[in-house]
Amino acid sequence: MKTQLVNKLKAGVVSIQFRKRDGTLRDMRATLSDELIEVSSSSSSTGPDHIQCVWDVDAKGWRSFYWDSLISAVKEC
């Protein structure tokens, strides 16, 4: 599942929903596509295996989620 989702993120924008550590639900439009990431920085999309770093398309910044909190992920057209 991780590999498939990371490949989708690299190919474009994915709408993901996950449960934050405080229990609230979070919807995010995310990507790992170099063409869609709006900054050139030393930030990276890597981290511990149980956390996925992504570019939040709407907030225009790096965000992350825990894999075990992921509820859904749908690639946008």
pLDDT value of residue 20: 96
The Cα–Cα gap between 77 and 74 comes to 9
Task: Please tell me the class of the 2-75 domain.
Answer: mainly beta
Pick the closest to residue 27 from 72, 76, 77 (CA basis). 72
**Confidence check: pLDDT of 62 > 90:** yes
Residue-wise pLDDT tens digits, 27-54: 999 999 999 998 765 455 567 889 999 9
- Collapsed DSSP state (helix, strand, coil) of residue 5: helix
Give the number of other CB atoms < 10 A from CB of residue 50. Answer: 9
Domain chopping of the chain, boundaries: 2-75
